[in-house]
Structure 1
């Protein structure tokens, strides 16, 4: 079993989260991914806690199914190796600030002269153009600047630092994969590659969806707890008597009627249709009172067979054991050399033809350097010469 992307060969120069998660998806779907890592500047995810068997669990997950070659791109001999690799690996994924790869001699303009079919995906915080192109940032900054944080939170406590890195993953990773695959499709028709400019801020800005359409089309400014889906209606989380939580998303009348009947307040269903903020606040308080009358387990029994868009909020330890998660095979056992297999999040995409099983967790820096160089035709003396030149660290 080879996977739907088995024809793709990707050189991955990225570190941390956005680029590695993008190339993880590609590798899980069968692409051959070769990480090009610095032997002197460590990817900090390698030391990110927690650890299992002496290695970072985040690194082991994000870099599974990928090989690693250690090259010091400040050495011309290492740059020459990259130039040779590009003849075969015709997709590059990088995450440096604009211009860094150009200075190293491995930017798009330099490499496309070697392989005109090259697809070169550049993931950055703010994109290749604009006044912020050289500015540093993290996920929280991109969400703040893009306006998403302005209506994500509570009025009395402010914006929320999200538990997942939305701009990094939905912006850099998923949009990066979309752009990469779109360029592959166009290359199949034209025979020519191109550079794909992925800005995590741009992509976060595009996620406004309904709120963005409402503001640009009708001038309605989104704010915290002033919309139906951000806490401005009964669509919210409710605390149980024992301090746990339930999500209530019973927006449609048929769901709202079932929900209100289940909590013993059928008369509340009609109030869910009101658009007046004061009515929604009053309705939320009534629902809060009802949820506070029973423990979490009791509410689980009430809603277990009820199809009303009401579900318990689960910690990750319970989510991984949920029958739906287990039935979908969203946890996979990944082989480790000399150690028991490690449980990891599985690829979420399902194909009728299946996907190849995971081959190994993230590899050590340069674990496949000799192997890759041998594939390029380097003999033992030539590899030794590269080591003497410190091109391999």
Structure 2
């Protein structure tokens, strides 16, 4: 089984999270992904804890199914290798600041001259243009500048640092893959590739789907705990007696009625159906009192068979063991290369024709250098020479 993207060959110059998560999705769906890595500036993800048998678990996951070619791009001989690879690699993914690839002689225009079908994807914090294009940033900064952080949190304590990287993944990775595949479809019609400029800030700005639409059309500026879905209504998390949490999303009348009936307080349903802020807050306080009367396990049992949009807040360990996630086969075993395997999150996309089995965890730096150069026609003598001169690792 090859997967739906088996016809794509990708050169991946990215590091850390946004680019590697994007190319992980491509590789899981069958694309041939070759990472171009620096032998002198290590991808910091390789040393990020925790480690499994001396290997970063994050790196092993994010870079599975990809080959690694270690090249010093500052040396002319390395650029020649890349240009040869461009003959049959039709997608390039990079995550440097604007202008870096051009200075290396690997900008879009230069490589497009070699392969006009090239789809060149640049993922950056702020994009290729604008006053912030050369500015450093991280996930938290992109969410802040895009307005999302201003209404995500509590009124008395302010914005919350999210437990996952929303701008990196939802902004850079997922939008990057969407744009890349759209460019592939366009190329099928035109025969030409194009340059895709993916700004993580731009992409998460577009995620203001409800709050942003309301402000632009109606002038309503959202704030923390002021809207129905950000804590301004009963739609929220509630603490149990033993300090665990439950999520309550019983927005529709039938769900609200089932929620209140299960808690033995059917009269509260009328408060939930009112749009008035004071009614919503009264319901919220009443629900908190009811939830704090019961332990987490009792609440889980109480709502197990109640279709009211009430679910427990699970730890990662509990999520892995949950029957729904187990039924969806969201954990897979990935070969390490020594006969053993590592448990990893599986590709979440379900194709009726299936996907290829994971081939290996993230490779060691330069693990496939000799193999790739041999495929390009380099002799063993030339490969050894490039190694001696530290062009490759």
- Confirm or deny a common fold (TM above 0.5): yes
Shift of 1:9: 0.3
Q: Which residue of 1 aligns with 2:129?
A: 129
Corresponding position of 2:220: 220
What's 1:7 paired with? Answer: 7
Q: Which residue pairs with 1:47 in the alignment?
A: 47
Distance in structure 1 (CA, Å) of the matches to 2:155 and 2:374: 60
How big is each residue's C-alpha offset from its partner over 1:309-333, in whole Å with a ceiling of 9 and x where there is no partner? Answer: 1101100010000000000000000
2:247 aligned partner: 247
Equivalences for residues 54-69 of structure 1 within 5 A: 54-69=54-69
Unaligned 5+ residue runs, structure 1?
none
3-state SS in 2 of match to 1:209: coil
Q: 1: CA distance between counterparts of 2:19 and 2:248?
A: 35
Q: Equivalent residue for 1:319? A: 319
Task: Classify the secondary structure of the residue corresponding to 1:308.
Answer: coil
1:223 is displaced (CA, Å) by 0.3
Alpha carbons 1:121, 1:180 under 8 Å: kept:
yes
Q: 2: CA distance between counterparts of 1:78 and 1:371? A: 15
**CA–CA separation in structure 2 for the residues paired with 1:61 and 1:292:** 39
Relative to the length of structure 2, the TM-score reads 0.99
Distance in 2 separating the partners of 1:339 and 1:217: 59
SS at match of 1:149: helix
Q: How does 1:21-32 map to 2 (within 5 A)?
A: 21-32=21-32
> Is 1:77–1:389's contact at 8 Å kept on the other side of the alignment?
no
Match of 1:281 in 2: 281
Inter-partner Cα distance in structure 2 for 1:271 and 1:180: 47
The answer for the alignment partner of 1:82 in structure 2 is 82
1:191 maps to 191
The whole-number CA distance in structure 1 between the counterparts of 2:190 and 2:339 is 47
Q: Is residue 143–residue 167 contact of structure 2 (8 Å, CA) maintained in 1? A: yes
Q: List aligned pairs for 1:96-115, cutoff 5 A.
A: 96-115=96-115
Match of 1:46, SS state, is helix
Residue aligned with 2:321, SS: coil
* Distance in 2 of aligned mates of 1:273 and 1:266: 12
The two structures have a TM-score, normalised by structure 1, of 0.99
Deviation at 1:339, TM superposition (A): 5.7
The SS at the match of 2:333 is strand
Check whether the contact 1:14–1:20 (CA below 8 A) recurs between aligned residues: yes
Tell me what 1:117 maps to: 117
Which residue number corresponds to residue 303 of structure 2? 303
Q: Could you say which residue in structure 1 is the equivalent of 2:92? A: 92
Aligned length: 393
**Is this contact kept in 2: 1:240–1:296, CA < 8 A?**
yes
- Residue of structure 2 equivalent to 1:336: 336
Preserved contact between residue 53 and residue 339 of structure 1 (Cα < 8 Å): no
Q: Where in structure 2 are there 5+ consecutive unaligned residues?
A: none
Partner residue in 1 for 2:350: 350
The residue correspondences of 1:158-237 to structure 2 (distance < 5 A) are 158-237=158-237
Q: CA RMSD in A?
A: 0.7
Q: Secondary structure at the match of 1:121?
A: strand
Q: Deviations over 1:265-286 (max 9, x none)?
A: 1011111122222221111000
Name the CA distance, whole Å, in 1 between partners of 2:122 and 2:226.
37
Tell me the distance in 2 between the aligned counterparts of 1:86 and 1:170: 28
